[in-house]
Amino acid sequence: MDYQTLLYKKSEGIATVTFNRPAKLNALNRKVMDELADCIEQISKDDEVKAVILTGAGEKAFIAGADVNELALQTPVQGKDTSLAGQRVLDALENLGKPSIAAVNGYALGGGCELAMAATLRIASDAARFGQPEVKLGIIPGYGGTQRLPRLVGKGRALELILGGEPITAQEAYRIGLVNQVVPAAELIPAAWALAKKIMANAPLAVRFAMEAVNHGLELSQQEGQFLEATLFGLVATTEDMKEGTRAFLEKRPAKFVGK
């Protein structure tokens, strides 16, 4: 796949998507979001892709936010449309059905933090910074930040980040549960690959249904979420991979999953 603002490569079942506007600190504009939407759709259809890693070009930024030049020209109606369009793209990432890992190599601010939160998991370099500074521009997070952030770190900490508008270090992001790992910058992509490979060693349908149970269950009561879990458990219990996984366990050998 060829894009103007993204770099895409696929190897060993892992798709790597690199936001490629380093001169603009990989800021999100309409072109980036349109290309990302297409990229996510193509990945969803590609059976060879089992996991996705997202990262930023250059050493300074994962994604430093939205392109302020575009934001400054928007009318209220255009602003709402932009927000809804961005939310659709990040919803598509969150519900891709394949695990995605945000390898955050620098600034992840505003839309960059929101995009990282839409990924399944987040690994940060020790130089990364996270934040929702929109209030400093007279706006609020518009790509799902007011919803995903409190679900990840709790209401109080989310409000502190959103209302204060100040960035936090990778170490603080790890402490409050915003990221899963913090590693030295040189180890970021290898760590993301290792995590992707670890997940890919498991049954693909079980991974997909587990993500669905968590993502959708969060929007339900616990009783409703457990019913969803039981339903998905019943579905996955009929798969070839379940039979292979249990047989391999009893035979004390590695399972060979086929995603069926």
DSSP type of residue 61? E
Q: Which of 114, 166, 172, 219 is labelled catalytic?
A: 114
- Measured between alpha carbons, how far is residue 249 from residues 201, 242, 246, 255, 257 in Å? 14, 11, 5, 8, 13
Q: Which of 12, 35, 70, 134 is labelled catalytic?
A: 134
* Residue 251: active-site member: no
- 191 neighbors 123 (Cβ within 8 angstroms): yes
- 212 neighbors 232 (Cβ within 8 angstroms): yes
* Residue 114: active-site member: yes
Q: How far out from the chain centre does Cα 174 lie?
A: 16
Taking CB atoms within 8 Å and a gap of at least 24, the contacts of 164-168 are: 165/131, 165/132, 165/133, 165/134, 165/135, 165/136, 166/131, 166/133, 167/107, 167/109, 167/129, 167/130, 167/131, 167/133, 168/129, 168/130, 168/131
Three-state secondary structure call for residue 201? coil
Active-site residue numbers? 114, 134
